[in-house]
Amino acid sequence: MDVLTFGETMGLVVAEPGPLEFAGSAQLRIGGAESNVAIVASRLGRSTHWVSRIGDDAFGRLVERTLRAEEVGVTVIRDPQRPTGLMVKERRSRTLQRVRYYRSTSAATKLAHDDIDDDLLSRASILHVTGITPALSPEARDAVDTLIDRARALGVTVSLDINYRSALWTRSEAAAFLSSAIPRCDIVFGGLDEFALVDPGIVTADAAIEDALARGAAEVIVKLGDRGAVGERDGHRAAVEATPVDVVDTVGAGDAFVGGYLVARLDGLTLDECLALGGLVGAAACTVAGDWEGAPRREELSQLFDGHSVSR
């Protein structure tokens, strides 16, 4: 198995454009940072697996069915007492979207590190986690914390995307977790403002990289949105500009970047090439509405971005 992910995936209600209270129709989808990465990597030809807890309900079945259809391996614990988390996306205009979460008592708030057994964990090349899961509850925080240590003990590469959500926990709570987690992770992704959680003095990508490396991370990638990304690995620092596209929906673009980057890394590509593929996949995700629906398959990259694809 190439990429193992651990975290909450929710049912997603996408209302038609306009005020939510007047919406006459809506679409049912799914979304979750960790499963988004798993789907992206799967579409690019890598074997992936997602582990979580869901409710014994329609949204939980939708989540499981959708991920299996995307050829993502699934391990779930169904909770008969707690529901699958839900998010509702309101599209007020092309550039203004609001997302409401209904997850405070979801099944995933009871995630535990032993939801992943050693056999499954040891078969992964990369364990990918985010800062969203530890923000769900003290139990989920302990689960991620312990899982990182277990993966390291088994020689599994640990990837962390900071993914700070202010609605789930405070900056100080996030900073405390990150200060402990970053030194124990091999690859750390984040936006500039997210790296600043551990040091408010961080105002540049270079400073973010240097701080995370000094804390013990081996590989650091700063996502800069429409300004591209900067990263460092093995003493080599590189940057990539954002690929210009007609943007439809930016939600999920960061997850798509991470998925593309991890696949390129598994392919043995250089840092520059990893950043390039991550950027292309992230850009492709922006051209379609949805958290992951725009993620391309490997053979589509050259069609979408003629002359810019990275493949071997």
**The predicted structure's pLDDT at residue 18:** 79
Evaluate whether residue 147 is within a structural domain.
yes
Domain count, the chain: 1
Task: Sheet containing 10-15: give its strands across.
Answer: 26-31, 10-15, 86-91, 97-102
Evaluate whether residue 102 is within a structural domain.
no
Q: Residues of 228-267 as b/e, b for ≥16 C-beta within 10 angstroms?
A: bbbbbbeeeebbbebbebeeebebbbbbbbbbbbbbbbbb
Q: Which of 118, 255, 291, 306 is catalytic?
A: 255
Evaluate whether residue 222 is within a structural domain.
yes
List C-alpha distances in Å: 9 to 17, 38, 115, 305. 24, 11, 15, 30
pLDDT tens across 205-221, in order? 999 999 999 999 999 99
Output the domain CATH number for residue 223. Answer: 3.40.1190.20
Query: What range does the domain containing 200 cover?
Result: 3-9+32-84+111-304
Q: Is 199 a catalytic residue?
A: no
Interatomic CA distance for residues 112 and 129, integer angstroms: 13
Q: What is the block-wise mean pLDDT of the chain (312 residues), using blocks of 10 residues?
A: 98 84 85 97 98 98 98 98 94 76 96 96 99 98 98 98 95 97 98 96 97 98 95 97 83 93 98 96 86 87 62 42
pLDDT tens across 132-187, in order? 999 999 999 999 999 999 999 999 999 999 999 999 999 999 999 999 999 999 99
Evaluate whether residue 272 is within a structural domain.
yes
